[in-house]
Chains A and B, each alone.
Chain A
């Protein structure tokens, strides 16, 4: 991709200077302040805050909810991407267009709608309540709202791969005697697996950091249902900035790990392709 003579085009100095200044001011300075805050304390205090039982349960809640939602989204996303690419049916274009809604809609609106929809006065809450099911403030409802906020990730990463899949491969598999299921498992699945994993990771990373929708639907009880971001906010409201930044550092490391993983997968996918 190195098809340009370096720095023949004008503007290197200006754009480099501007980019570095902007990134330094907007990204490095705030993150540096967080590091400074965390490191300027006694390391023992830092670890006590970072791995306080309440913090640990918050990480676990975040992890388990985001993971469950992302996993469910992987299956549903694959199904929807498959149907959108492979079949022609009434409303297909509509579905294809509206899939992106969770990206355009504020997540807090999603949280608000879900919490009211499943409350006793809401359509689904009322209906489920009559059957003895109460979802308000449950783990399940939080996963459901994360399902909404992460909905398009898998669809949008798998869809282009499915579209570009070489049809000859499926014909080859059929001619060699494979039935549809074997073809799917042995031929189609390996081709879309990297995209599926990427979609999963994106949805998972999004779920880990999600706040706006979760505060609406969750009871946000410490140890029970409090997630990492909710914990950070409530520590902040208690004016316990050291506790908040310790938890933030842990969350930051976790999501940074996710970012690295996604990028590695991208690189492998590109080099394989």
Chain B
């Protein structure tokens, strides 16, 4: 079942939470709504679910307009950020709740719940209370509960938000596999671009109640539409510079005092910079190493321009770093392998 959101706006008092937002979720797609705090992504998810009614615009499931239909009639699965498990009910009762209020017979409820327990790999925990479960287990109970009544769409609010790093990555992989098994149209909200890129088929980046960019994860990462998206998806260095006959050139550091968004900047990711011992490449700048940090498989180098005190970050392969004999205080030349330029209407 596809979801289509058209021209939706929502205001809370003086706060414009959503401003004329439209998205399409094709059937069976797993879509991530990505953005910083307050960007409106949760509000959009809640509007899709029916927990909020938009001020204007429409929401359709497949061919049915549901903008104003009752939440009980929509049959969506929703996983709350903090799970919202019913504390006084066992795992079994939690998962069976949707079936019980639909007046299913006991035997059918038993059968469906045991199917779901199997699906989320919690067999044997039927009688546990939510307080006796770990964070990851609660998350899976919440998911099973959302899936119980065979919803047409599955919505998840910050599904990995409350988990520690290890459980988080396990659950990400598991959710991705689960999605491949059941192929249900799903939308989830996250503020973490790793969550979005690791799990989603399609990512929608939002800011201030508007959509900044949408597309496949690779597309967005490779071709960010504007500096905001570029910055949001990972660290970025900003320079004065230009592209000349396909050769990227840096002409100067951007000092910390220089105004935002004025003139044309070039944007370079840390791994798209290289370091040289001498001024051997056109359009390179010189800086002093102030810190060398091994981070996983790469070496992260922080350099400072002594004049403007601008700081830049360069990620090098550790072999390359060895070659260069990096140490604090050493002067190095910085040259880009690739630069991006954007229209000046945006700023970071």
Q: Which A residues fall within an 8 A CB radius of B?
A: 166, 168-169, 171-179, 182, 186-187, 190-191, 272
Q: By the criterion CB–CB under 8 Å, are B71 and A187 in contact?
A: no
Determine the residue in chain A with the shortest Cβ distance to B149.
A177
Known A-B contacts A179-B72, A190-B88, A191-B88; the reply to A172 vs B80 at CB < 8 A is yes
Q: By the criterion CB–CB under 8 Å, are A176 and B51 in contact?
A: no
Is B145 located at the chain interface by the 8 A CB criterion? Answer: yes
Is B265 located at the chain interface by the 8 A CB criterion? Answer: no
Is B97 located at the chain interface by the 8 A CB criterion? Answer: yes
CB distance from B155 to the nearest CB of A (A): 9
Determine the residue in chain A with the shortest Cβ distance to B102.
A177
Name the interface residues of B70-126: CB closer than 8 Å to any CB of A. Answer: 71-72, 75-78, 80-82, 84, 86-88, 97-98, 101-102
Determine the residue in chain A with the shortest Cβ distance to B151.
A175
Q: Is the interface of B mostly helix, strand, loop or mixed?
A: loop
Determine the residue in chain A with the shortest Cβ distance to B155.
A175
Q: By the criterion CB–CB under 8 Å, are B84 and A169 in contact?
A: yes
Q: By the criterion CB–CB under 8 Å, are B86 and A175 in contact?
A: no
| Chain B residues near A168 (CB-CB < 8 A) | 80-82, 84
Q: By the criterion CB–CB under 8 Å, are A166 and B84 in contact?
A: yes
Give the 8 A-B CB pairs with smallest separation, nearest first: A168-B84, A176-B98, A172-B84, A190-B88, A178-B101, A175-B78, A168-B80, A174-B71
Is B17 located at the chain interface by the 8 A CB criterion? Answer: no
| Chain B residues near A175 (CB-CB < 8 A) | 49-51, 71-72, 76-78, 146
CB distance from A128 to the nearest CB of B (A): 44
Determine the residue in chain A with the shortest Cβ distance to B101.
A178
Is B59 located at the chain interface by the 8 A CB criterion? Answer: no
20 A-B interface contacts by CB (under 8 A): A168-B84, A171-B80, A172-B78, A172-B86, A174-B71, A175-B50, A175-B51, A175-B76, A175-B77, A175-B146, A176-B98, A176-B145, A177-B98, A177-B102, A178-B72, A179-B101, A182-B101, A186-B86, A186-B97, A272-B87
| Chain A residues near B82 (CB-CB < 8 A) | 166, 168
CB distance from A75 to the nearest CB of B (A): 21
Q: A172-B84, A176-B148, A178-B97 are in contact. List 7 more A-B contacts (CB 8 A).
A: A168-B80, A168-B81, A173-B97, A174-B71, A175-B71, A176-B146, A191-B88
Q: How far is the CA of A174 from the CA of B97 in the complex (A)?
A: 11
| Chain B residues near A169 (CB-CB < 8 A) | 84, 86
Q: By the criterion CB–CB under 8 Å, are A174 and B72 in contact?
A: yes
| Chain A residues near B88 (CB-CB < 8 A) | 190-191
Q: By the criterion CB–CB under 8 Å, are B149 and A171 in contact?
A: no
| Chain A residues near B101 (CB-CB < 8 A) | 173, 176-179, 182, 186
Q: How far is the CA of A175 from the CA of B52 in the complex (A)?
A: 12
Q: Which B residues fall within an 8 A CB radius of A?
A: 49-51, 71-72, 75-78, 80-82, 84, 86-88, 97-98, 101-102, 145-146, 148-149
Q: How far is the CA of A224 from the CA of B86 in the complex (A)?
A: 48
CB distance from A239 to the nearest CB of B (A): 55
| Chain A residues near B84 (CB-CB < 8 A) | 166, 168-169, 171-172
Determine the residue in chain B with the shortest Cβ distance to A168.
B84
CB distance from A180 to the nearest CB of B (A): 9
CB distance from B284 to the nearest CB of A (A): 54
Q: How far is the CA of A178 from the CA of B81 in the complex (A)?
A: 20
CB distance from B104 to the nearest CB of A (A): 11
Q: How far is the CA of A180 from the CA of B178 in the complex (A)?
A: 32
Q: How far is the CA of A186 from the CA of B98 in the complex (A)?
A: 12
| Chain B residues near A174 (CB-CB < 8 A) | 51, 71-72
Q: By the criterion CB–CB under 8 Å, are A176 and B80 in contact?
A: no
Q: By the criterion CB–CB under 8 Å, are B86 and A187 in contact?
A: yes
Q: By the criterion CB–CB under 8 Å, are B51 and A171 in contact?
A: yes
Determine the residue in chain B with the shortest Cβ distance to A272.
B87
Q: How far is the CA of A173 from the CA of B145 in the complex (A)?
A: 10
Determine the residue in chain B with the shortest Cβ distance to A178.
B101
CB distance from A228 to the nearest CB of B (A): 37
| Chain B residues near A182 (CB-CB < 8 A) | 101
| Chain A residues near B78 (CB-CB < 8 A) | 171-172, 175
| Chain B residues near A272 (CB-CB < 8 A) | 87
| Chain B residues near A187 (CB-CB < 8 A) | 86
Q: How far is the CA of A168 from the CA of B149 in the complex (A)?
A: 19
| Chain A residues near B148 (CB-CB < 8 A) | 176
CB distance from B23 to the nearest CB of A (A): 20
CB distance from B239 to the nearest CB of A (A): 46
Determine the residue in chain B with the shortest Cβ distance to A189.
B88
CB distance from A85 to the nearest CB of B (A): 19
Determine the residue in chain A with the shortest Cβ distance to B75.
A177
| Chain B residues near A172 (CB-CB < 8 A) | 78, 80, 84, 86, 145
| Chain B residues near A186 (CB-CB < 8 A) | 86, 97, 101
Q: By the criterion CB–CB under 8 Å, are A176 and B97 in contact?
A: yes
| Chain A residues near B145 (CB-CB < 8 A) | 172, 176
